Every structure is written in structure tokens, then in C-alpha cells.
Amino acid sequence: MNLSWIDWTIVFASIILIRLVSWRTRSLMRGVADFLSANRTAGRYLLTISGEMGGFGVITLVAGFQAFTAAGFPTLWWSMMSMPLGLIFAMTGWVFYRLRETRALTVAQFFEMRYSRKFRIFAGLLCWLSGIINFGIFPAIAARFLIYFCGLPNVFTVAGIHIATYPALMIADLGLALFFVSNGGQISVMVTECVQGMVALFAYIAIAVAVIALIPWNHAVAAMNTAPADASMLNPFHTAGVQDFNAWFYLIGIFLSTYGFQTWLGAQGFMTSARNPHEQRMGNLISGWRRAPLTLVGLVLPLAAFTVMHLPQYAAQAAGINVDIHRITSSTLQNEMSVPIALAHILPVGIKGLLAMVVIFLSITCHDTYMHSWGAIFVQDVLIPWRGKALEPDEHVRWLRFSIFFVAVFAFFFSLFYVETDKILFFQAITGTIWLGGAGAVMIGGLYSRFGTTAGAYAAMIAGAVLGIGGLVIPNIWEAHHATKFPINGQWISLISSGVAIALYIGISMITGGVRSPFNLEKMLHRGIYAVDPHEHEVKSVGKSRWREMLGMGSEFSKGDRFLAILFAVWTFGWWAVFIGVCVAHFAFNAIPDQFWAPFWKVYLILLLAQCVPAAIWFTIGGVKDIKDLLQRLETAKRDPLDDGRVAHEDIPASSAPAGLGDEEKTLAGIS
């Protein structure tokens, strides 16, 4: 084994800690809304920390390793194109604010409000199918990471019985995640993930500092310079030879991020758990600082592995790493596990234990989040609407637990038997497109247009699903017949699918009467005369000055909120200005030499590291405060047995602006 007793002590102590935390939340789960959305009681720090842990699994970490070792720092550079998106989404409340205003417990509940119950069932089934297939390889990647990083044997013996490590580890992983999510639903998920996230923050920093101390920067630069001239791992403008993770990959990603924002439902519980839309918006706003330690460790780990594997100074270590890599027969899995295997040879005692702990945390938090989401979607958006009548609260929660258990079983067997043939990010893109291809048009059209119709929604969703499934099947047939890689990767298929879905949504809606009978958005969003809760910032207010209004800062923003928003805007647009300035200097004047990039990336890493310690302290204090507040609110909250995700009336009547609204009320209702 690669881990010492010190490392294993760190691992087992952390598992015991989170089990104790989870047990504390069990008594607070007293209804369906608790199980699904923590009864909408979460603050911004709890949302940010737990949501980040739930949405970033081992699969995301390994996919990042693959991208970095294939293309280096240019992957980071081209991703800077999308830096303003997070700020713009947060400040405008793009999609999530209006979705929260509907007070729906699931996205498909909103679909029933906006379209029809039959469409809700259809969309729920499609989303569930896409989700569980996408989730299907998560346990496999997490188990393989732990096996190769920890140096676990392929088989171990218990009481004379030989047990295969790979399936046993997946069972243990999924079993722990299942325990947390079944224990207290979204309450348990959020609280345990927040605690794990706070511990992980400091672990990320320790790991990153240790790696930076182990691998001198000049060695890392020398290793990066071994790449071919047209596939530079430092200079993003010399990457013509990079096939997958090039500028087009990230340009398409900007469109898909906007189109599909808040539409992928793997972490759906976090989309409806905030105390109010403003807390949801602030959670999205501050998440950039929370992400800094994770971004840092996601860069320095593959950088260290790449350096050791490509410089003669580390030849002895590289030889041992290569021996372990070539014990894997699949070339796809060799590529996938090369960084974890290298890290097992590189990292010192203690740091290995911290990384193993972080991997277990990321595995459990991501898996219980996804299991909660896909299990809830099947019950809430397929089973109950199909039955047409409510379940008793206890029976409802039992069905949710049964459904979550099925998702865990499916993921286990899918991971056990599915053979990976492509990079992780492209598998995720294709399987996600089955749902996302049409869902973006249906979500945005439903929240922001009055003309969208149920027929248009069906057309968009079916087109996205057909093209997504085709993108999953056709490349395999192509490669079998032509013995070459399919010329269109998953990113491009996602773009094509989305474009077709948008065109069909608009065209079919226009043809089927969307303009003649506009939908009553104000009633669905509880705005104006339909407001149900004038407190807690349930309605976005008008800014007190023109510039604040332009930035989306209404009266619900406190002085502290405004400070954070402005600080984040300055930081974000500062880096974006650097990106634009360097691009202009290169393309217009050819004024950026190769020698510019090594110092640039060094400064970038230093600034990222400088963010980490203040961010860790800040979010830990905020996370503890929010957990205490959540527990107090849940102790005294009144549960509504009717708040179970059902829609009382299948359709909200079509209408233009409600009669009797004055100018101010029209402004609040978002009517021009």
C-alpha cells in the first residue's frame, strides 16, 4: 500500500466525523419539503460551501487532470473568456432568481406550472434517464482513483473469502453516500457537505503548498516546454496542434453555460434550498472566492505529475510510475489514472492522507447530491404526477428513499460493466445533451417569454434527446466501421443540439398560438398583485440609484452585500481586462513573446494562493454561522403537508398584464 498509518488515521477520523455530523440532522427531517429542499432555510455560505462540494466530484477532478495534462495552462487561459458570466448571472439573477420566485421544489414542477402535467412527466422521465446514465461512471472513477492512489490490492481476503476490491469499494462509497442522503434528505446532505467542505478548504491549501515546495517552478516550466511547438502548454496562442481542449472548446462552453445555466439538475436540491432568492444570488456571487483553493490544487497536482513524468531529473520516480500505469490494460484508463498514480509516488506522508480524505469527501458529497437529485426527480416529476394524487408525507419520503436506493444500485452496475472509450468531459457532454439539448430552451423560454407553448417545449425536448442519443451511439458505430475517431466530439454535438432545440421552440410556439394567447408570467412568479410573501426579498426590488439598478443591486442589498458585489466585479473584470488586453496585443500587434507566459502563470498561481487562506477563514466562519441558523430555523419551522412539489392547478391562465396594476407595480412585476 502507498499510505502510511498516519495517512489512514486521517482518512478514518474524517469519515467518523462526518457520520457523527449526519446523525445530528436526522431528527430535523420532518416533512417532504425538508427532505427535498431543507424547507428552504439555507443561508448563502451553507449554500456555497455545500453546493460546491456537491457539484464537484472526483470525476470533475480527474477530468481536470486529463485536460491539463493534454493542453496545460492554455486551458486556464481560454476559460478566462467566460469569467464575467458568473458575475453577470449572479447580479442579474439569470434563470435561478425567477425559478426561485416560482417556489417550485423541482424544475419539472415549474414545467407543470408553465406547460402541462403531461409535459412534466415526459421531461422528468427524460431528465432522470439522462441523469442516471451520466452519473453511471461516477462511482467507477472514484473507486479507481482510490485503488491506484492508495495502492490497494485487486483482491483482499476476509474470513477466508476472497473479495474483489473494485466492486467492494464502490459498495462502500455508495453505501456511505446513501446513508447520508437517506438519513435526513437535503438537510443531511447540506450540513455534512458544508462540514466536509470547510475541512477540505484547509486540506486543499496544505496539499497545494506541499506540492509547490516539492516541485520547483523552473522544473515545471522546463517540463511544459517539452511540448511540441504547435501544442504549447504555456502559450495559448501556439495551440493549433491541440485537438480537444482548444479555444473552440471553451467558446462553445460559454454558449452552453449561458444556455444551460441552472438546467443541469444533478444538484437540484441546492436550487430550491435558499431562504429566499437574494440569498441564492449572494451564494452564487461569493462562490468564486470559495472556489480558489480547489482551483489551486486542481492546477498544481497535474502540473507536478506532468513535471515528474517529463524531466530527466525525476527519471527514477517516472520509471516506477510508468510500471504502475502499464499494469492497466486499457489505454483510456491509463490516461485517466496517470495523475493519481504519479501523485502516489510524489506526495509525502500526511499529504497523501489529506488527498485521500479530500477524494473520499468529494466522492461522498457528489454522490449523495446526485443520488438525491435523480431519486427525487423520478418520484416528484414522474411517479406522483402520473398517479395524479398525493402521498401521505411518511409514504412520500419512503418512496423518495426507495428511488434514491435504485439510483445507487443502477450506478453500481453501470460502473461495474460499462467500458469507457473517451475522455470524461466528452462522455459527460454527450450524456448530458440527452436532457440539456432541449431543456435550456424550455427553461429560458418558460421563465422569460410569454409566447412559449407546450407544443414548442415538446419539440425542443424531443430534438435535444434524439440528437443526444445519436451522439452517444453514432460515434461507436462510426469507429467500428471506419477504425478512426468520429470527426465531431461531444462539445460540438451539444452545440448543434441546442441550436436545433432553440429554433424549434420558437418556431413551434409561434405556430401554435403563443403570440395570440400570452402566458401570465406575473402569476407564476408571484409578482405584483400575485405576491404571496412581501418579506425576505421574495421579489427583486428596484435600485435606489441608476448605477445600482444597472448592476442589479436593489434595496435588498445591504452595505456588506454591495461591497462584496463591487469587490467581486472589480476582481472579475480586472482579470477579464487582462485577458482582453493580452489577446489584443497578440492578434493586433504580435507583441506577446513566448517568454511572457512562464512569469505570467507564476504570478497567477501566487495570487491564487494569496486568496486561499483568507477565503478559507471567511467561509468557515460563515459556514458555521449558517449551519447554526439552519438548525435553529428547522427546530421551530412550521411544516406544510401540502408543500410537497405538486401543482394544484395544471395550468396558469394566459393573460397580458393584470388589470389594475400601476406603474410601480408593473415595474416590480417585470412588465415593460
Contacts of 192 (CB under 8 A, 6+ apart): 18, 21, 22, 25, 180, 365, 368
Give the mean model confidence (pLDDT) for residues 311-320.
93
pLDDT-based confidence at 35, cuts 50/70/90?
confident
Has residue 538 got a pLDDT over 60?
no
Looking at per-residue pLDDT, the higher value among 368 and 672 belongs to 368
Contacts of 620 (CB under 8 A, 6+ apart): 198, 201
Residue 102 to residues 97, 98, 438, Cα–Cα distance (Å)? 9, 6, 21
Nearest to 644 by CA among 456, 385, 453, 435: 385
Instruction: Give the Cα separation of 458 and 439 in Å (integer).
Output: 10
Q: What is the pLDDT of residues 598-621, one digit of tens each?
A: 999 999 999 999 989 898 999 999
User: Which helix or strand (DSSP H or E) is residue 401 part of?
Assistant: helix 393-417
CA dihedral 373, 375, 381, 387 (to 10 degrees): -160
Instruction: Give the Cα separation of 266 and 128 in Å (integer).
Output: 10
What residue ranges do the domains of the chain occupy?
422-518
Chain-wide mean pLDDT for the chain? 84
Residue 592 has, within 13 A of its CA and on its CB side, a CA count of: 21
- Single-letter residue type at 385: P
Q: What is the pLDDT of residues 657-670, one digit of tens each?
A: 333 333 333 322 33
High-pLDDT (> 70) share of the chain, %: 92
pLDDT-based confidence at 655, cuts 50/70/90?
very low
pLDDT at 532: 66
CB 576 within 8 A of CB 86: no
User: Which helix or strand (DSSP H or E) is residue 573 part of?
Assistant: helix 559-589
Q: What is the pLDDT of residues 421-452, one digit of tens each?
A: 777 877 887 788 888 889 999 999 999 999 99
Contacts of 666 (CB under 8 A, 6+ apart): 528, 657
pLDDT at 265: 78
Q: What is the pLDDT of residues 223-251, one digit of tens each?
A: 999 988 888 999 999 887 777 667 777 88
CA dihedral 62, 50, 171, 341 (to 10 degrees): 20
**Overall pTM > 0.85:** no
Max mean pLDDT range (104-108, 604-608, 643-647, 659-663): 604-608
- The C-alpha cell that represents 157 in the structure block: 481476503
Instruction: Give the Cα separation of 324 and 341 in Å (integer).
Output: 7
CB 296 within 8 A of CB 609: yes
Q: What is the pLDDT of residues 497-506, one digit of tens each?
A: 999 999 999 9
**Region of residue 164 (phi > 0: left; psi between -120 and 50: alpha; otherwise: beta):** beta
